[in-house]
Amino acid sequence: MQITSLGYRTDLLLLELSGSQFYDRGGYVVVRTPDNPGFWWGNFLLYRTPFAPDDAKIRVDDFHREFPAAQHVALGIDSVDGEIGAEGELAAAGFTIERNVVMTTDRVVAPQRPNEDSTYRLLSSDGDWQQLFEQNLATADMTVDAAYEDFARRKLAAKRQLVEAGHGLWFGAFEGERLQSSLGLMFDGKGLARFQNVQTSPEDRGRGLASTLVHRASTYGLHEGGAKTLVMVADPDYLAIRIYRALGFADSETQLQLVLPPA
């Protein structure tokens, strides 16, 4: 299955390792995660071409045919240039359009103001992973209800399984035993390493934790981890993207995600 986008290629790699299923329909790929039906970007359609006029309705119908029980619609475009096509139709249909930046580097530079007060280590215990779950909820950009907690717990369980199977590592910055900042780094075994979920607890932001943690994880990935290229996908409007650029990451692609939330 040929995927052009580096962002989606690494997304699908991690989903496949976590047990997701793919079905190539020709014009699009069905991505299905039976263990977590509430995971939008584990249950979506990835199209090979931008939207032509009238494609919005056709592709929404495709989604409902593939996911008849889903309340959301999630569609991707396998491209690198950010070209969507009939964007006006998508906006009129109520879609939220996300253009994320795929960033890469083969070397990193140290942060100008590293945080030397915290302890940096791998997550290693049930208590560490429970703290990560609580941090995920605290940094969520949506309402945290019972359904979201269930989604987050299932998603984290899949990531922990990847780590325990030897596909990656989860790094943390700690004050004593309290988790302050965290990220995952997953390896494809062929020279790519993909960052996952760089986040800092709200009360610990502005202290240089994320930049220090990304630098330390990057250094590990490029040396002990054997990676030749590091991949980071970031929201272009989020402040953290400046951190990644300052550490040596450069914009290489635009990844397109389109969501129609539940009514």
Q: What is the pLDDT of residues 237-246, one digit of tens each?
A: 888 899 999 9
Q: What is the rounded CA–CA span in Å between residue 52 and residue 66? A: 21
What average pLDDT score do residues 61-81 get? 96
**Burial class, 198, CB count within 10 angstroms (exposed 0-12 / middle 13-18 / buried 19+):** buried
Q: At the top level of CATH, which class does the domain 119-247 belong to? A: alpha beta
Tell me: pLDDT of 29 over 80. Answer: yes
Residue 165 binned pLDDT confidence (cut-offs 50, 70, 90): very high
Dump strand ranges (E) for the chain.
Answer: 21-24, 28-32, 44-47, 73-77, 96-105, 119-122, 168-175, 178-187, 192-200, 229-234, 250-260
**Burial class, 61, CB count within 10 angstroms (exposed 0-12 / middle 13-18 / buried 19+):** exposed
Q: What is the rounded CA–CA span in Å between residue 83 and residue 86? A: 9
Around Cβ 110, how many Cβ atoms within 10 Å?
A: 14
Tell me: pLDDT of 1 over 90. Answer: no
Angle between helices 146-164 and 126-138 (to 10 degrees): 140
Tell me: pLDDT of 263 over 80. Answer: no
* Least confident residue range of 1-5, 116-120, 127-131: 1-5
Q: What is the DSSP letter of 78?
A: -
- Digit-coded pLDDT (tens) for 101-114: 999 999 999 999 99
pLDDT at 36: 93
pLDDT at 16: 95
Tell me: pLDDT of 230 over 90. Answer: yes
Residue 143 binned pLDDT confidence (cut-offs 50, 70, 90): confident
Domain ranges within the chain, ordered by starting residue: 6-100, 119-247
Q: Which of 47, 37, 36 is nearest to 75 (CA)?
A: 47
DSSP-assigned beta bridge partners for residue 254: 81, 101
Q: Which of 127, 137, 228 is nearest to 172 (CA)?
A: 127
Q: What is the rounded CA–CA span in Å between residue 246 and residue 218? A: 13
Do the beta carbons of residue 172 and residue 132 sit within 8 Å? Answer: yes
Residue 90 binned pLDDT confidence (cut-offs 50, 70, 90): very high
pLDDT at 218: 98
Q: pTM, whole model, 2 decimals?
A: 0.93
What average pLDDT score do residues 71-82 get? 95
